[in-house]
Chain A
């Protein structure tokens, strides 16, 4: 196993500092929303987590296309890494959304178009992780993963646009919300700055984790190949 690149160590440090700054901004810089109170502060990281989820699924679809074109195993590792990270972050987005919804909508969960499409998207990619494990041949597994990631990506724009094309109670952050949306609020400049900064910080977190997960994937690949060699 190669030693950890210096750039990755720097990225680790920068990411931790940025996350600390973003957290401080959320708790000490942004005002308390006049109606919802403190629970509105969940919004900054809730959206950022969902952003990482969708970013990773997009990355896996791109990696899938690259794998099918080139046949390079490293693209399969990138795709797998992206999906795993995004499943984790989308899960956080769904759970934090549910926590926000309890005092605002007076329910933990409702089959609203956004919540439903997000849950379906999460299940599609959780199934990707499970189904991959059932295929032993690495090349077949990689081909399956690539095709699945490309097809699964259909759920991403559908989820993103669901609050814009369907009648929904979910607030729209950028653009006009449906008149039936509950929990919408006007962002003050401090809120907007913190929100945009949180998106940037979580993009750094994604890049950092992706790099670590890709390295782990290469290591697992090496172990798998050596295992085959030793057992033959």
Chain B
């Protein structure tokens, strides 16, 4: 691919694409953890209320 080229190949766009994927996917995963945590906390509150009502 780089046969007879002079100087480093112009591959900056691929580097940008690579780091976009790395940070994008990590951010997406962290966000998913945050959202799942929030939803589970809500579910827990609702279930605890229901549980308290049935115990009364």
Binding site for B on A (CB under 8 A): 1, 32-42, 45-46, 49, 85, 88, 91-92, 95-96, 99-100, 102-106, 182, 205, 209, 212-213, 215-216, 219-220, 222-223, 226-227, 229-230
Which bucket holds chain B's interface residue count?
A: 20 to 34
Q: Which residues of B contact A102 (CB under 8 A)?
A: 14
Q: How many CB-defined contacts (below 8 Å) exist between A and B?
A: 105
B47 within 8 A of A: yes
27 contacts between A and B (CB under 8 A): A32-B8, A34-B8, A36-B9, A37-B12, A38-B12, A39-B9, A39-B11, A39-B14, A40-B11, A42-B15, A45-B19, A45-B22, A88-B25, A92-B21, A95-B21, A99-B14, A99-B17, A99-B18, A104-B1, A106-B1, A212-B33, A213-B33, A216-B37, A219-B44, A220-B36, A226-B48, A230-B47
Closest to B24 in A: A92
6 closest A-B pairs by CB: A39-B11, A37-B8, A42-B18, A38-B15, A39-B14, A37-B11
Q: Which residues of B contact A95 (CB under 8 A)?
A: 21, 25
Binding site for A on B (CB under 8 A): 1-2, 5, 7-12, 14-15, 17-19, 21-22, 25-26, 29-30, 33, 36-37, 40-41, 43-44, 47-48, 50-51, 54
- Complexed CA–CA distance, A226 and B26 (Å): 31
Known: A35-B2, A92-B25, A106-B1. A216 touches B51 (CB 8 A): no
- Complexed CA–CA distance, A149 and B32 (Å): 23
